[in-house]
């Protein structure tokens, strides 16, 4: 009885989550004509034309490449600066450590809208406007604090004796960090990478403000096309479906770590 | 864990410091700079002191946006937190295909770009081509989110619930997973009711992650921009113009740099303040319990 | 309080042939204190959870006072259980924790009050009754769990699942003594799971030794010590354990590598792998060449006695000698008290 009730709740909730997504997929497989003329629960004339538009038009598929480029850059940058910092916060006390940690976290609380304009001016003035690195750097604003926070949580769970034993065994700091410490917090690194990927991939405002042509993100492409060309619902839906796929793949690979990952190593 | 004092640890923090200084402090300085100056164009600025702050603090437009924002955040928190806990309680506990499937599907909305979330609901809610809008319209409801502010609000709230409840679910689920079986067995032996189990075992163990959930949901909903921007563009009228939308309109749309900068700083401070209050209250109540 | 009967009980977790618990028949007498002893993974916790009703056995029946409760849930069985680590409700006070099982059964408020005070004085927590359980030390928390187990007077049995694992050694003694005293006073049927022989032997009237899902012996501590029914019991109980030596048995004579040892009685011929078992306590160094020759490897002095680690050829033999016993050069032999020698065929005890 109990299992059935739980299953029912889950099925209803998942149905609620999947219905709008199904509708998007449904739209993406219809012709614009069918979308506007008839209302149907599934495509009557199944077509892949909408997807073809995206795969053949560089301004569309370029958007995906640009997005993925800056997301990966951001993840790499965020993790490589966050790792040593998280280690320092988890192992040592030093002057102003608590204030620094708190100040870092406050950046996660800053509304991107506040930073949109200053970022635009800053990156324009240093000649980085409309480059991948500009978006990647801008996204570190909220990803670095988060990465430091997550990693610090996981590192705190590793006993300090491990560090000490390694030093006694004659490891230098860098060898120790790479060979012994990193494997121990591998799941933490994975979780931090997952969150960096996620927040950078889903963000629109900053990526739209900081790019125009060369590094234009898929999100920006979608919002602009929607307003410019009016109502090409089919292509818009297809583009939407394609943005869900990378996320779905990432979740699929980390599915067994999701529960632990979402606890951020702090349960 | 006992930490060792080590001032050299500063060197490890230095990269983060430089990076965040570049991407946070410099822009913030710009904002502060704008907030106390005015311009007639041509890059000529002159000092106006706290005038913009006064203007913003007395601006009805901002008051309204803040009111809408607070109402929105309150509504979605009061739906998403209980609903998230409720769903988490029904997540499959045994590992297997069904639980993997649930996890993947539940997490999916979180990794959809926010503008696409907007697009999905923009389409889903339309009365001509959207399943939701069409169905409601055919059932005789007067539902049109582009014209009716109530419908616009309902759409945006349902969208946010759709988008973010899963975060609460996954956090609560992580908390629940950390409860050893013995607690449930002991409760059975003590003949505890389902409510007692929730109240005395599950809720206390979820407290830590729920604190994170409430904080994250508060911050992110208070900063919401993309989804309502795509779905309603802030309308009809100003009905769904939340703080971020208003700010972007002011800064990039109207290029009112001074007021926008003053607005930004106040906005940021409000979030910091409320987060801090939240955090202190919850940590404090935790200490009192202990 | 109840007599608990296990009838052809068996359990496998995945419903396959991989039995965590092999078929067993056993009666737990009303009001007795049992210890369930065995190494990790021998099925003792499985058995306990079947008795408490947290698990339903794949086959067989379990009866409380001749009433079949196999499919009944924990609440109907009316038992109490204390777990390996302290299970307390953190947000409640100590008093609320103790009252919880009673409140859930809608008992009279006055009764609850007096009962809590009784239990609190028994487990000595009167002075912290109104403190929150959160933040108390592990052993006090475990005392509270214990108290919650004892608070209901009418329980059929109280089950303990290695309850002293997380407790400091000096507290262990104290709690164990308290528990024993409580059993004397309250007279509940108690089943106590442990892998620690000292705990089992000091707590229980009867010890049930389990190995690989099977009960290998049920007996009083003395029986387990003197007549282990299985070589495992001999080896597991006692410190050091029983010496088990392969031998050939011929009537009232045993031969180890051709050396003859006289037995107290004659044995019939058994097929299978024959061994003799002798406790280190009943082995004695000697200088008599008719005894079994050995070489002494080392001598450990453990306070009021010494353990002599010796070997005959490749067979290790432990001997316990008194603290004052002198070990001289010519002590090259070991003498076994013939009345204390047990004979095993394929690990199981055989009688003359």
SS (H, E, C) A152-211: HHHHHCCCHHHHHHHHHCCCCHHHHHHHHHHHHCHHHHHHHHHHHHHHHHHCCHHHHHCC
DSSP C164: T
Q: What pLDDT shows up at residue B162?
A: 95
Q: Are residues A75 and A3 in the same domain?
A: no
Q: Is B42 left (phi over 0), alpha (psi -120 to 50) or beta?
A: left
Distance from CA of A231 to the nearest CA of B (A): 11
Q: Are residues A149 and A250 in the same domain?
A: yes
Q: Are residues A88 and A25 in the same domain?
A: no
Q: Are residues A188 and A245 in the same domain?
A: yes
Residue to mutate among B191, B193, B200, B201, with most C CBs inside 10 A, is B191
For C173-196, how does the pLDDT look when each residue is reduced to its tens digit (9 = 90+)? Answer: 877 888 888 888 878 889 999 888
Least Cα distance to A198 among B166, B86, B75, B218 occurs for: B166
Q: Are residues A2 and A108 in the same domain?
A: no
Distance, C-alpha C92 to centroid of its chain:
34
Considering only alpha carbons, which residue of chain A is nearest residue B209? A263
Residues 6+ apart with CB under 8 A from B89: B172, B176, B198, B202
pTM higher than 0.90? no
Query: Does residue A92 have a pLDDT over 90?
Result: no
The Cα angle at residue C309 between residues C306 and C313, in degrees rounded to 5:
155
Task: Give yes or no for a contact between C222 and C253, defined as CB atoms under 8 angstroms apart.
Answer: no
Three-class DSSP category at C325? coil
Q: Quick one: average pLDDT of A35-41?
A: 78
Query: What is the residue whose two structure tokens read 């097929």?
Result: C271
Distance CA A48, CA A89 (A): 52
Residues of chain B contacting A260 with CB distance shorter than 8 Å: 174, 177
Mean pLDDT, all residues of chain A: 84
Task: Give yes or no for a contact between A60 and A75, defined as CB atoms under 8 angstroms apart.
Answer: no
Determine whether the interchain pair B20/A111 forms a contact, defined as Cβ–Cβ distance below 8 Å: no
Least Cα distance to C273 among C352, C339, C350 occurs for: C350
Tabulate helix, strand, coil % of chain C (nearest 5). 25, 35, 35
Considering only alpha carbons, which residue of chain B is nearest residue A85? B13
A39 in reach of chain B (CB within 8 A): yes
For C96-111, how does the pLDDT look when each residue is reduced to its tens digit (9 = 90+)? Answer: 999 999 988 888 999 9
Residues 6+ apart with CB under 8 A from C49: B185, C55
Q: What share of chain A in percent tops pLDDT 70?
A: 92
Q: In terms of residue numbers, what domain contains A11? A: 1-47
Chain B contact partners (≥3 CB pairs within 8 A): A, C
Assigned architecture for domain C245-350: Beta Barrel (2.40)
Distance from CA of C56 to the nearest CA of B (A): 14
On whether residue A193 sits in a domain, the answer given is: yes
Judge residue C195's burial from the number of C-beta atoms within 10 Å of its C-beta, 0-12 exposed, 13-18 middle, 19 or more buried: middle
What is the number of domains present in chain B? Answer: 2
Q: Quick one: average pLDDT of A180-203?
A: 86
Q: Are residues A14 and A82 in the same domain?
A: no
Residue to mutate among C73, C82, C90, C105, with most B CBs inside 10 A, is C90
Distance CA A163, CA A184 (A): 11
Distance from CA of A14 to the nearest CA of B (A): 7
Q: What share of chain C in percent tops pLDDT 90?
A: 9
Determine whether the interchain pair B191/C80 forms a contact, defined as Cβ–Cβ distance below 8 Å: no
Considering only alpha carbons, which residue of chain B is nearest residue C80? B189
Question: What is the Cα Rg of chain C in Å?
Answer: 24
Tokens of A231: 């109502």
Assigned architecture for domain C4-236: 3-Layer(aba) Sandwich (3.40)
Residue of B5, B119, B252 lying closest to A240 (CB–CB): B119
Considering only alpha carbons, which residue of chain B is nearest residue A119? B27
Residues of chain B contacting A91 with CB distance shorter than 8 Å: 3-4, 6, 9
Phi, psi of B140 (to 5 degrees): 95, 5
Determine whether the interchain pair A202/B111 forms a contact, defined as Cβ–Cβ distance below 8 Å: yes
Chain C contact partners (≥3 CB pairs within 8 A): B
Query: Does residue B95 have a pLDDT over 80?
Result: no
Determine whether the interchain pair B196/C148 forms a contact, defined as Cβ–Cβ distance below 8 Å: no
Query: Does residue A226 have a pLDDT over 60?
Result: no
Q: Are residues A68 and A109 in the same domain?
A: yes
For C205-226, how does the pLDDT look when each residue is reduced to its tens digit (9 = 90+)? Answer: 889 999 888 888 988 988 888 8
Q: Are residues A165 and A216 in the same domain?
A: yes
Phi, psi of C132 (to 5 degrees): -70, 140
Mean pLDDT, all residues of chain C: 86
Show which of residues 50-109 on chain A sit within 8 Å of chain B, judged by CB atoms. 77, 80-82, 84-85, 87-95, 97, 100, 104, 106-109
Query: Does residue A265 have a pLDDT over 80?
Result: no
Q: What pLDDT shows up at residue B289?
A: 46
Is the link from the previous residue into B5 a cis peptide, with omega within 30 of 0? Answer: no
User: Chains B, C: CB contacts under 8 A, how many?
Assistant: 57
Residue to mutate among B65, B101, B129, with most A CBs inside 10 A, is B129
Residues 6+ apart with CB under 8 A from A228: none
For C122-153, how does the pLDDT look when each residue is reduced to its tens digit (9 = 90+)? Answer: 888 888 888 888 888 888 888 898 888 888 88
Residue of B119, B162, B208 lying closest to A222 (CB–CB): B119
Tokens of B251: 């800064």
On whether residue A267 sits in a domain, the answer given is: no
For the ranges A218-227, B245-254, C262-271, which has the lowest average pLDDT? A218-227
Q: What pLDDT shows up at residue A267?
A: 41
Q: What pLDDT shows up at residue B42?
A: 60
The Cα angle at residue C314 between residues C311 and C319, in degrees rounded to 5:
20
Residue A1 pLDDT level (bands cut at 50, 70, 90): very low
> How crowded is the C-beta side of B274, counted as CA atoms within 13 Å?
20
Residue B2 pLDDT level (bands cut at 50, 70, 90): low
Tokens of C136: 């108390």
Q: What pLDDT shows up at residue C154?
A: 82
For C295-325, how does the pLDDT look when each residue is reduced to its tens digit (9 = 90+)? Answer: 888 888 888 888 889 888 888 999 998 888 7
For C50-86, how does the pLDDT look when each residue is reduced to its tens digit (9 = 90+)? Answer: 888 888 888 888 888 888 888 888 878 888 888 888 8
* CATH at A88: 1.10.3720.10
Task: Give yes or no for a contact between C261 and C254, defined as CB atoms under 8 angstroms apart.
Answer: yes
Residue B86 pLDDT level (bands cut at 50, 70, 90): very high
For the ranges A37-46, B117-126, C302-311, which has the lowest average pLDDT? A37-46
Residues 6+ apart with CB under 8 A from B285: none
Q: Quick one: average pLDDT of C263-268?
A: 84
On whether residue B55 sits in a domain, the answer given is: no
Q: What is the DSSP string of C210-250?
A: EETTEEEEEE-HHHHHHS-SBHHHHHHSSSS--EEEE-EEE
The Cα angle at residue A47 between residues A42 and A53, in degrees rounded to 5:
130
Residues of chain B contacting C74 with CB distance shorter than 8 Å: 185, 188-189
Q: In terms of residue numbers, what domain contains B264? A: 60-289
Q: Are residues B16 and B144 in the same domain?
A: no
> How crowded is the C-beta side of C168, counted as CA atoms within 13 Å?
7
Residue A228 pLDDT level (bands cut at 50, 70, 90): very low
Convert A174-186 to b/e letters by CB count within 10 Å (16 or more is b): eebbeebbeeebe
Determine whether the interchain pair B189/C101 forms a contact, defined as Cβ–Cβ distance below 8 Å: yes
Least Cα distance to B59 among B262, B270, B274, B273 occurs for: B262
On whether residue A52 sits in a domain, the answer given is: no
> How crowded is the C-beta side of C306, counted as CA atoms within 13 Å?
17
Q: Are residues B120 and B200 in the same domain?
A: yes
Q: Is the dihedral of CA C323, C325, C328, C332 positive or negative?
A: negative
On whether residue B237 sits in a domain, the answer given is: yes
Where do the structural domains in chain C lie, given as residue ranges? 4-236, 245-350
Distance from CA of C88 to the nearest CA of B (A): 8
Distance from CA of B264 to the nearest CA of A (A): 5
Q: Are residues B218 and B132 in the same domain?
A: yes
For B130-167, how does the pLDDT look when each residue is reduced to its tens digit (9 = 90+)? Answer: 888 888 888 878 888 888 888 889 999 999 999 999 99
On whether residue B54 sits in a domain, the answer given is: no
Mean pLDDT, all residues of chain B: 84
What is the number of domains present in chain A? Answer: 2
Q: Are residues B147 and B114 in the same domain?
A: yes
Query: Does residue B44 have a pLDDT over 50?
Result: yes
Distance CA A99, CA A93 (A): 12
Helix axes A97-108, B9-20, angle to 10 degrees: 30
Distance CA B28, CA B20 (A): 11
Convert C1-13 to b/e letters by CB count within 10 Å (16 or more is b): bbbbbbeebbbbe
Give the pairing type, strands A92-93 and C33-37: unpaired
Distance CA B100, CA B94 (A): 10
* CATH at B200: 1.10.3720.10
Cβ atoms within 10 Å, residue C197: 19
Residue A222 pLDDT level (bands cut at 50, 70, 90): confident
Residue B290 pLDDT level (bands cut at 50, 70, 90): very low
Question: Which residues partner with A108 through β-bridges?
Answer: none
Query: Edge-to-edge, what's the strand order for the sheet holding C305-312?
Result: C295-301, C305-312, C315-322
Distance from CA of B178 to the nearest CA of A (A): 7
Determine whether the interchain pair B183/C79 forms a contact, defined as Cβ–Cβ distance below 8 Å: no
Query: What is the residue whose two structure tokens read 């609901």?
Result: B121
Q: Quick one: average pLDDT of C252-257?
A: 86
C235 in reach of chain B (CB within 8 A): no
On whether residue B38 sits in a domain, the answer given is: yes
Q: Are residues B141 and B162 in the same domain?
A: yes
Distance CA C203, CA C190 (A): 10
Q: Quick one: average pLDDT of C19-43?
A: 86
For A127-181, how does the pLDDT look when each residue is reduced to its tens digit (9 = 90+)? Answer: 888 899 999 999 998 899 889 988 888 888 888 888 888 888 888 888 888 888 8
């Amino acid at each position: 009885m109990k299992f059935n009730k739980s299953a029912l709740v889950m099925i209803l909730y998942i149905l609620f989550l999947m219905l709008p997504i199904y509708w998007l997929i449904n739209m993406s497989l219809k012709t614009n004509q069918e979308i506007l003329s008839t209302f149907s629960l599934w495509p009557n004339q199944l077509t892949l034309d909408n997807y073809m538009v995206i795969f053949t038009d560089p301004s569309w598929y370029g958007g995906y490449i640009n997005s993925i480029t800056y997301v990966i850059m951001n993840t790499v940058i965020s993790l490589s600066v966050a790792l040593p910092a998280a280690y320092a916060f988890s192992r040592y006390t030093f002057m102003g450590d608590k204030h620094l940690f708190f100040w870092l976290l406050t950046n996660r609380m800053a509304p991107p809208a506040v930073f949109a304009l200053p970022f635009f001016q800053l990156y324009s003035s240093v000649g980085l406007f409309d480059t991948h690195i500009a978006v990647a750097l801008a996204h570190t604003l909220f990803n670095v604090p988060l990465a430091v926070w997550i990693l610090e949580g996981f590192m705190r769970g590793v006993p300090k004796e491990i560090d000490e034993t390694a030093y006694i065994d004659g490891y230098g700091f860098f060898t120790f960090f790479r060979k012994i410490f990193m494997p121990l917090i591998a799941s933490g690194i994975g979780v931090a990478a997952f969150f960096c990927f996620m927040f950078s991939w889903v963000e629109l405002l900053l990526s739209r403000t900081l790019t125009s042509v060369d590094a234009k993100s898929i999100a920006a492409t979608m919002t602009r096309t929607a307003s410019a060309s009016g109502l090409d619902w089919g292509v818009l839906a297809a583009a939407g479906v394609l943005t869900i796929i990378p996320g779905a793949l990432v979740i699929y690979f980390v599915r067994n770590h999701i529960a632990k990952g979402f606890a951020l190593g702090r349960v | 864990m006992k930490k060792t004092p080590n001032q050299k640890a500063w060197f490890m923090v230095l990269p983060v410091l430089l990076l965040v200084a570049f991407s946070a402090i410099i822009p913030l300085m710009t904002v502060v700079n704008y907030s106390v100056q005015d311009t007639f164009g041509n890059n000529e600025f002159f000092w106006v002191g706290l005038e913009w702050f006064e203007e913003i603090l007395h601006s009805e437009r901002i008051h309204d946006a803040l009111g809408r924002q607070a109402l929105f955040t309150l509504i979605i928190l009061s739906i998403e937190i209980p609903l998230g806990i409720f769903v988490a309680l029904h997540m499959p506990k045994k590992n297997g295909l069904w639980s993997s499937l649930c996890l993947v599907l539940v997490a999916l909305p979180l990794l959809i770009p926010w503008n696409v979330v907007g697009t999905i609901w923009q389409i889903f809610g339309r009365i001509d081509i959207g399943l939701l809008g069409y169905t409601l319209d055919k059932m005789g409801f007067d539902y049109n989110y582009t014209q009716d502010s109530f419908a616009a609000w309902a759409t945006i709230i349902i969208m946010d619930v759709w988008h973010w409840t899963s975060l609460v679910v996954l956090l609560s689920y992580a908390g629940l997973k950390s409860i050893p079986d013995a607690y449930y067995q002991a409760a059975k032996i003590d003949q505890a009711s389902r409510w007692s189990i929730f109240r005395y075992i599950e809720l206390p163990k979820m407290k830590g992650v729920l604190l994170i959930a409430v904080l994250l949901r508060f911050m992110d909903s208070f900063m919401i921009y993309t989804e309502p921007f795509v779905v309603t563009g802030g309308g009809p009228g100003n009905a769904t113009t939340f703080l971020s939308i208003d700010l972007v309109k002011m800064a990039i749309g109207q290029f009112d740099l001074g007021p926008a900068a003053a607005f930004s700083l106040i906005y940021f401070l409000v979030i910091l303040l409320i987060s801090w209050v939240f955090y202190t209250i919850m940590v404090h109540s935790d200490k009192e319990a202990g | 309080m109840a007599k608990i009967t296990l009838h052809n009980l068996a359990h496998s977790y995945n419903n396959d042939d991989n039995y965590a618990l092999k078929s067993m028949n056993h009666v737990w007498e009303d009001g007795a204190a049992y210890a369930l002893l065995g190494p990790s993974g021998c099925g003792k916790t499985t058995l306990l959870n079947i008795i408490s009703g947290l698990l339903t056995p794949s086959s067989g029946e379990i009866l409380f006072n001749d009433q079949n409760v196999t499919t009944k849930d924990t609440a109907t069985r009316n038992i109490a259980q204390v777990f390996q680590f302290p299970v307390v409700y953190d947000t409640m006070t100590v008093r609320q924790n103790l009252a919880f099982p009673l409140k859930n059964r809608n008992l009279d408020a006055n009764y609850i009050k007096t009962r809590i005070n009784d239990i609190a004085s028994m487990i000595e927590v009167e002075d912290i009754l109104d403190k929150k359980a959160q933040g108390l030390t592990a052993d006090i928390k475990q005392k509270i769990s214990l108290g919650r187990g004892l608070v209901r007077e009418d329980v059929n049995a109280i089950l303990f699942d290695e309850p002293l694992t997380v407790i400091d050694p000096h507290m262990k003694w104290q709690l164990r003594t308290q528990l024993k005293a409580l059993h004397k006073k309250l007279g509940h049927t108690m089943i106590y799971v442990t892998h620690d022989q000292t705990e089992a032997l000091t707590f229980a009237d009867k010890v049930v030794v389990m190995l690989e899902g099977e009960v290998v012996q049920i007996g009083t501590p003395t029986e387990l010590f003197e007549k282990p029914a299985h070589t495992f019991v001999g080896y597991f109980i006692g410190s050091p354990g029983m010496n088990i030596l392969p031998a050939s048995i011929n009537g009232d004579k045993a031969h180890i590598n051709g050396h003859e040892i006289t037995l107290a009685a004659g044995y019939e011929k058994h097929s299978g792998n024959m061994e003799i078992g002798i406790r280190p306590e009943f082995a004695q160094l000697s200088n008599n060449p008719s005894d079994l020759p050995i070489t002494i490897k080392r001598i450990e002095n453990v306070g009021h006695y010494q353990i002599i680690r010796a070997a005959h050829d490749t067979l290790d033999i432990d001997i316990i000698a008194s603290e004052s016993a002198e070990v001289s050069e010519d002590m090259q032999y070991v003498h076994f008290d013939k009345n204390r020698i047990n004979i095993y065929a394929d690990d199981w005890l055989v009688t003359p």
